Structure 1
Amino acid sequence: MTNKSIQTALIVDDEPDIRDLLEITLTRMGINTYSASNLEEAYSHLSRTEFHLCLTDMNLPDGNGIDLVSNIQKNHPNIPVAVITAYGSIETAIAALKAGAFDFVSKPVELSRLRDLVDSALRLSQQQENKESKVSDAQEDKLLLGNSETMQKLRGQIRKLARSQAPVYISGESGSGKEMVARMIHQLGPRADAPFVPVNCGAIPNELMESEFFGHKKGSFTGAVENKLGLFQAADGGTLFLDEVADLPMAMQVKLLRSIQEKTVRPVGEQKEIPVNVRILSATHKDLNNEIDEGRFRQDLFYRINVIELKVPALRERVEDIPLLAETMLKRVADECDIPNARLSTDAINALKQYSFPGNVRELENIIERAFTLCEDDVIHAVDLHLQDNSSDARQTIDSAPAQQRNGVNLEEYLETIEKQTIEQALEETRWNKTAAAKKLGISFRALRYRLKKLGME
């Protein structure tokens, strides 16, 4: 067996010149290399030697690279495999990623791109070897609460996807926790030390979209008073999370597709393209297949971002997790107010379990926060929850709302401003007597205290 302190790579290619190039490059990086010209030789090496990385060509005399990827996935799952594809062969690269390849690199091989890929693969291999990750099991549970079979399966899928560099499309209803899933994929993978950059595609004005994504050069348009890095460059080395990707206008979809495929961006006003190394995760609550049928989303972009789909369950699909989620949320809110004994009554928990939650986890959090401010004696009863009508109209209202309102971007800020102004007015009219101000506002003293703390007005 190979000394574990020495990193070892298997190179599989039937072209001697390519093998030599890869061997020289990896050797200069301090990596021991073994070479094979076909699948038979590769399998022989794998049976005798412990590897930290495998680089394989797609076309081999006795099979193809996907055969090798599948074999390693089955028999040596801790070895990251990168596939070398022909130039422009995106379909082949996607097929390899779906089979379980860590990443791909196109011919002619760019050495800088190859070194980045090898570094990422070896970091992942090191995580596996040390049985460590950037997020412990306890942290995972905190990030994505739930003991249901559905959630245990989801966490297992996340761990597996974190090992790959394949683009992942995260589907699920509004408020179900898609961004949290994206963060976990990032934090459990080899890019964990690099930036995670989330962007709400529905919240960027069309006229600023190209500048936001790709950056711009000083003087490239009115108002461009200095150079600006775009979101791709901000996420370089890390992960770019495109939330509500279905809201991108068609013209931007074309430019985004090119940047993803070519791994480059061209800032507004620049003549040359800049290489970027980002992993793309995307999400939307909409049905992208329907968006394609209606002509609102490009099919080629869909295939590029939807290499692997991960579905996040709605809260009503994991009812058994509701008590744990509600109690955890209540503890967080109560701790902020130094009230350690707050609890949910049995009737409140039963009411929550019978509610359909059209707004999912986000709605549950809002319900718990509101109920905490209104309840008496630190106990939340069913009547304090003020659950809305459980009809299907609630879901239609959420899913048909404008993107900015649905994601709480401008609407939440607006409502917060109104709330601050109302509280300030009541405090001024009572000469900042909080007890009198609470009475004037029709809420309890504790409710006012909580709102002041949450709004940063203490």
Structure 2
Amino acid sequence: MYPAVLIVDDEITIIESLSGILSDDGFEVIHAFNGYEALKKIETESPDIVLLDIWMPGMDGIETLREIKQKFPNIPVVMITGHGSIESAVEATKSGAYDFLEKPLSIDKVMVTINNALNFRKLEEENLYLRKKTIEKNSITGTSPAVQALHREIMAAAPTDAAILITGENGTGKEMVARTIHQFSRRPEEPFIIINCAAIPEETLDSELFGHEKGALGHAASKNMGKFELAAGGTLFLDEIGDMNINTQAKILRALESKTFQRIGSSRVLHMDVRIIASTNKDLTTEIEKGRFRQELYFRLNVIPIHVPPLRERNQDIPMLVDTFLDKLAGQSATPKKTMSKPALDLLVRYAWPGNVRELKNLMERLSIMVQEDLIDVTHLPHPYHSGDTIDAANSPGELFAPDNLEQARTAFEKEYVRHKVAQVDGDITLAAKTLGTSTRYIKKKLT
């Protein structure tokens, strides 16, 4: 299928000459004599590119360009004029024109510009497709009220440059939320850089963040760019910032306040243009009280707080997640997709999921490999999933009677008892706490 070019000009000679040249090169040519006709042709013919004259009676080219960009933003528009000026070129570019050509037209330049514009459009479409796939890959799956509220928070926060603090238990998908925010931000084409504050040794964390000059450290055989520098223009994700040492916290705070930093061993001041997103599985207010986290840094990071709910608080999403994981696993292994029986799904819905979505994903991978049948049933579920979080000492005495002393046994029983009560109220921690006469913090602690 050949590309379609819409030529918009009130001079018939221009339309005829361009039509002949472009037709000979395999283009499908459409023409219009004014802006109003051009807008109608775009609606009915869907051209791949528009060549638009600036000087036309009635609606001029700039007005027509603005209308095209408002209604059909993905169509590249090349402006043509016999009265070219710097002012016209600037105005056309500001209004969204891809390029600017002057009469008398150079045929070679026309062809090069059209091909460049079409290649640019193709690249934009590919980028949009890849971005869409990235968003789909990193989106939190589910239709529960908790997930819908999370999506609303993400969409409200993403277009801003404000710092975001994502809280949630391990395995809930905090990094996925951060990636989604980046994709919907004003910086989606810029870098998304992650630093895991819990995984990097304290003695190398400063270097990882700010970089260092050659010879600045004992092992520094060359210059190293830090994560702040690598993330320039984009997003820096400080994962598990609650595990960052107190001294590095102070340096991060100074960098955020001054929007500048220095590599270790350098006197050069580097300016910072980075959107900061941080995450933690800890209660930072408690960490502040214990002197392990700086209150000023907390206020800097917690401009927009986003909490990722644990799986037990959105257990109605489990059937959808199970189906999604089994579908992906079948695609990866090129085998028929397995399904899960309703009784087995019911047990999974009632389970408390201390490992959250990560635990569910790992279980699905295990079952898809180990279960030979196409249907995964209750009998295929390993402990503790097959018990639905019920306490049944007669059926599994080894679990509750394994401890060697009374205190350990009491702790094990208490944990199982709380899980059982949470499962009975479909994962509603607030209701379980009220029923048991305790706090939600206590319940959460027993579920981890």
| Both structures adopt the same fold (TM-score exceeding 0.5) | yes
Aligned partners of 1:330 and 1:342 also within 8 Å: yes
> Match for 1:221: what amino acid?
L
Structure 2 CA distance, aligned partners of 1:175 and 1:348?
Answer: 22
Matched, 1:311 2:307: yes
Aligned partners of 2:138 and 2:176 also within 8 Å: no
The correspondence for 1:324, drawn from 305, 308, 320, is: 320
What residue number does 1:47 align with? none
The correspondence for 1:248, drawn from 240, 244, 249, is: 244
Structure 1 CA distance, aligned partners of 2:239 and 2:137?
Answer: 23
Structure 1 CA distance, aligned partners of 2:265 and 2:364?
Answer: 49
- Deviation for aligned residue 1:386: 1.4
1:164-179 map, 5 Å: 164-179=160-175
- Deviation for aligned residue 1:312: 0.9
- Deviation for aligned residue 1:336: 1.7
Aligned partners of 1:358 and 1:395 also within 8 Å: no
Aligned partners of 2:179 and 2:192 also within 8 Å: yes
- Deviation for aligned residue 1:172: 1.0
Question: What TM-score, normalized to structure 1?
Answer: 0.57
Bigger Cα displacement from structure 2, 346-355 vs 368-377 = 368-377
The correspondence for 1:385, drawn from 381, 386, 395, is: 381
Q: Structure 2 vs 1, CA of residues 263 and 355 (structure 1 numbering), >3 Å: closer, same or farther?
A: same
Aligned partners of 1:176 and 1:313 also within 8 Å: yes
1:80-159 map, 5 Å: 135-136=131-132, 139-140=135-136, 143-159=139-155
Q: Structure 2 vs 1, CA of residues 381 and 313 (structure 1 numbering), >3 Å: closer, same or farther?
A: same
Q: Structure 2 vs 1, CA of residues 375 and 144 (structure 1 numbering), >3 Å: closer, same or farther?
A: same
Structure 1 runs, 4 residues or longer, greater than 6 Å off: 2-6
Structure 1: tracts of 5 or more residues without a match: 7-26, 33-50, 52-131, 400-458
Aligned partners of 2:138 and 2:177 also within 8 Å: no
What residue number does 1:362 align with? 358
Q: Deviation string for 1:88-129 (max 9, x for gaps)?
A: xxxxxxxxxxxxxxxxxxxxxxxxxxxxxxxxxxxxxxxxxx
1:285-434 map, 5 Å: 285-388=281-384, 390=389, 391=416, 396=445
Greater Rg, structure 1 or structure 2? 2
Q: Deviation string for 1:58-104 (max 9, x for gaps)?
A: xxxxxxxxxxxxxxxxxxxxxxxxxxxxxxxxxxxxxxxxxxxxxxx
Aligned partners of 1:239 and 1:281 also within 8 Å: yes
What residue number does 1:217 align with? 213
Q: Structure 2 vs 1, CA of residues 375 and 259 (structure 1 numbering), >3 Å: closer, same or farther?
A: same
Structure 2 CA distance, aligned partners of 1:133 and 1:280?
Answer: 26
Structure 1 CA distance, aligned partners of 2:180 and 2:64?
Answer: 28
> Match for 1:354: what amino acid?
R
Aligned partners of 1:135 and 1:188 also within 8 Å: no
> Match for 1:295: what amino acid?
G
1:192-271 map, 5 Å: 192-271=188-267
C-alpha root-mean-square deviation of aligned residues, in Å?
A: 3.0
Aligned partners of 2:135 and 2:183 also within 8 Å: no
SS in 2 for 1:179: helix
Q: Structure 2 vs 1, CA of residues 156 and 378 (structure 1 numbering), >3 Å: closer, same or farther?
A: same
Structure 2 CA distance, aligned partners of 1:212 and 1:4?
Answer: 51
- Deviation for aligned residue 1:372: 1.6
What residue number does 2:84 align with? none
Aligned partners of 1:198 and 1:241 also within 8 Å: yes
Aligned partners of 2:138 and 2:179 also within 8 Å: no
Matched residues, percent identical?
39
- Deviation for aligned residue 1:254: 0.3
Structure 2 CA distance, aligned partners of 1:4 and 1:320?
Answer: 50
Structure 1 CA distance, aligned partners of 2:257 and 2:338?
Answer: 52
Q: Structure 2 vs 1, CA of residues 395 and 359 (structure 1 numbering), >3 Å: closer, same or farther?
A: farther
> Match for 1:166: what amino acid?
A
Bigger Cα displacement from structure 2, 387-396 vs 214-223 = 387-396
SS in 2 for 1:203: coil
Q: Structure 2 vs 1, CA of residues 301 and 278 (structure 1 numbering), >3 Å: closer, same or farther?
A: same
Aligned partners of 1:316 and 1:357 also within 8 Å: yes
- Deviation for aligned residue 1:382: 2.3
Structure 1 CA distance, aligned partners of 2:64 and 2:355?
Answer: 49
Structure 2 CA distance, aligned partners of 1:164 and 1:383?
Answer: 49
> Match for 1:302: what amino acid?
Y
Structure 2: tracts of 5 or more residues without a match: 1-61, 67-86, 96-127, 390-415, 420-442
> Match for 1:337: what amino acid?
S
Q: Structure 2 vs 1, CA of residues 216 and 343 (structure 1 numbering), >3 Å: closer, same or farther?
A: same
- Deviation for aligned residue 1:266: 0.7
- Deviation for aligned residue 1:196: 0.6
Structure 2 CA distance, aligned partners of 1:366 and 1:191?
Answer: 33
